Amino acid sequence: MAKSAWASSSARLTRDSFLPFGSCSLCLEAAIDPVACAQGDIFCRECALNNILAQKKEIKRAAKSKELEDKEAAEAKAKADEEAQARAVREFELVQAGLEGAGGRNGVKAGSSSQDDARESVKRVEKRKFALDEDEVVRHAEDDRAKARKAIEAEKSSKAVLPSFWVPSVVPTSNSKDNLHEIKKKVKTAPICPSSQERQPHKYSLHTLVTIKFTEETSEDTKTRTRICPSCKKGLTNASKAVLAKPCGHVLCKACASQFMKPSGQVDPHAHPADVEDPDMIRCYTCDADVTERPPKSSDKKDKDKIRPGIVDLKSDGTGFSASGTNEVKKSGTAFQC
């Protein structure tokens, strides 16, 4: 009883949980003015547009939030550099005044360290001539700032940590710029298809949506319209594995598409040289449009926003058969052990 309530469990969805063919993946109803993404996910046009606009608003909000975080991080870094520079100047003034610096806690250690530094400096002078270079000065200044920054961090870490987790300085959200909470998240730059898998997301946009043109037949008895294959005149269901021709948008069943929409492999010897077609060309069964999938010629952004020709399987939930159902629901929980 406790295991079923608290532990993680998973179950494969049955036929009762499957959507009928041609249903929108967002509103879960029969798609009105259906469109499909480049991978074959079906949506209502209105649902897809609303989802794209909502994702674009979220992307803009995330970009502004990231810009604000970067600005705060730059300000915090500038403040830390100022503190490190002030500490380095203060230690230098103490050393010049003959007082103890931050390097030693007593006079003996400070004196011994100063003697060692003097010996090292003499050795350096013997090895090479001293030359005042701008890069050398900048490097020494950076080293001094780094040492001062390390000393400041050591002082902060040596202080006792407050056990009161509700104090603003200890709350994780207040020190999110520290290394402990530095977790870089992937920033989404384009709308992601809501039906794509979490591990393999794919992008979609308004320009890449394909308008689906179903062939419909009206029943004389029930006066209902059924989406059928234009070749075999059979109704399209989850079992028929329908395919979509791009960019024309006509839909056929898998069997007819594999039989009629394939390259001929032959060249017409009687055709004019200007009208000779590629033997590997694939044409749509309904409108005779060229649907041959070809690799992109360039990496131009305009070409990426266009609907590329090809044949893609329309996504469906399956038939409920044990070998074809892949939809699975998971519930994660905390398992307690006595």
Query: What is the average per-residue pLDDT within 120-144?
Result: 62
| Domain ranges across the chain | 60-164
pLDDT value at 111 more than 50: no
Looking at residue 220, what is its pLDDT?
Answer: 79
Is 174 in contact with 168 (CB distance < 8 Å)? yes
Residues paired with 225 in a beta bridge: 218
49-53: long-range pairs with CB below 8 Å, 24+:
49/206, 51/26, 51/191, 51/194, 52/191, 52/204, 52/205, 52/206
The mean-pLDDT minimum among 27-36, 84-93, 133-142 falls in 133-142
pLDDT value at 239 more than 80: yes
Q: pTM score > 0.75 for this model?
A: no
Distance CA 306, CA 65 (A): 31
pLDDT value at 160 more than 60: no
Environment class of 243 (CB within 10 Å of its CB; exposed 0-12, middle 13-18, buried 19+): buried
pLDDT in tens, 22-80: 899 999 898 999 999 989 999 999 999 999 999 999 999 999 988 998 899 899 888 88
Looking at residue 133, what is its pLDDT?
Answer: 66
Looking at residue 4, what is its pLDDT?
Answer: 59
Q: Tell me the residue type at 301.
A: K
H or E element at residue 188: none
Look-up: residue for tokens 């049955």?
14
Query: What is the average per-residue pLDDT within 237-249?
Result: 89
Looking at residue 103, what is its pLDDT?
Answer: 47
Helix (H, G, I), strand (E, B) or coil at 321: coil
pLDDT value at 312 more than 60: yes
Distance CA 144, CA 92 (A): 10
